[in-house]
Amino acid sequence: MNWLAGLLIAVAGAALGQDFDHSHKAWDVLVKKHVVLIAGGNASQVRYAEFAKDRAALKSYLDSLSGVPEVQFNAWPRAQRMAFLVNAYNAFTVELVLAHYPVKSIKDIGNNLFSNRWKKKFFRLLGEDSYLDRIEHEILRKPGSYDDPRVHFALNCASVGCPMLREEAYVAPRLEAQLEQQAVRFLSDRSRNRVSVQGALELSMIFDWYKEDWSGRMAAIPSREKYLAKYARFLTDDPQHQKRIAEGGAPFTFLDYDWSLNDARR
C-alpha cells in the first residue's frame, strides 16, 4: 500500500469516527435499565437475564465502539478517550458474560491458558482484534498514558469482589466527578474494604495486585497508605481509626476476592 492509499483510508476512517456519540447514550440506557444498586449505593448487581433480551441493542453499541478508527480516537481529548475505554471494557465484559450465560463466575468462561477470558480476542477495537486485558493493562494502565489509579474503581470484571458496574455511562464532561465517586463508593463498601475492631485495614486484593499503581507509578502519591489517608472518613466511622488511617499508621491485610457473578438473580 502506498502512502496516498494509506492516507485516504485514514481520512475515511476519521470521517466515520466523527459520528461517534460521546454521550454513550446507548450504553447509558442499558445500564440504567439493568444495573441494580445495593449496599446503600456502594455496590451493584446486574440483571443479566433481562440484559440478554436487549442484546441486539448492546451489540449495536459495541459495533459503534469497534467502528472508531485509531487515528480519530487519538485526536480526542484525554477525558473522551478514557471514558470510551472504560465504557468499552465494561460493555464488552457484559457481552462476554451474556455469550455464556448462565454462568456462576466469569472465571468459568475459558479455564485454561489458551482460552483465558481476559485474553480472549472476541472483539475489534481501534483497528485491532482485541481482548479485555488490552484495554486495561496495555492502554489504560500504560505508564504515561492516563496515569489514574481510579480506573480500577471504574472497570467492572462482572464479579462480586470487583468495584461496582456504574449505573450510568462514563462521559468526558463528568469523568472526574464520576471517577471520584467510584473511589468513594468502593472504599465505603464494607464487604470490600473495612477496618477491623483492632483498627487494621482489611482491603480489597485490588490494592495488592496493582499496588504499584498507588505507589508513584500512576499517582502523584508515594504509597497506598498516603492514598488511603485521603479517604479515611469513608473507610470507618470511628474517629480514632480515621485519625490513624489519615496519619498512615494503620496496618493492612487483604480480603479474599469473591469471583461469583454479580448477578441480581443470586
Residue 115 confidence (pLDDT): 63
As a whole number of angstroms, the distance between CA 53 and CA 98 comes to 10
Q: Look over the chain and give the mean of its residue pLDDT values, rounded to a whole number.
A: 92
As a whole number of angstroms, the distance between CA 43 and CA 264 comes to 12
pLDDT at 233 over 60: yes
pLDDT at 6 over 50: no
As a whole number of angstroms, the distance between CA 74 and CA 82 comes to 11
The amino acid occupying position 232 is A
Cα 50 to chain centroid distance, Å, stands at 22
pLDDT at 185 over 80: yes
DSSP bridge pairs for 203: 254
124-163 pLDDT per residue, tens = 999 999 999 999 999 999 999 999 999 999 999 999 999 9
Residue 114 confidence (pLDDT): 53
Residue 25 confidence (pLDDT): 98
Instruction: Catalogue the E-assigned strands of the chain.
Output: 35-38, 43-46, 123-125, 128-130, 194-195, 201-203, 252-254
As a whole number of angstroms, the distance between CA 183 and CA 32 comes to 20
Query: pTM value?
Result: 0.91
105-124 pLDDT per residue, tens = 999 997 665 568 999 999 99
Q: Phi first, then psi: give them for residue 27, nearest 5 degrees.
A: -70, -40
Going by C-alpha positions, the residue among 12, 135, 1, 119 that lies closest to residue 62 is 135
Instruction: Give the helix/strand (H/E) hosting 83.
Output: helix 78-100
As a whole number of angstroms, the distance between CA 226 and CA 222 comes to 7
- What is the rounded average pLDDT of the residues 55-62? 98
124-133 pLDDT per residue, tens = 999 999 999 9
Q: In whole angstroms, how large is the CA radius of gyration of the chain?
A: 19
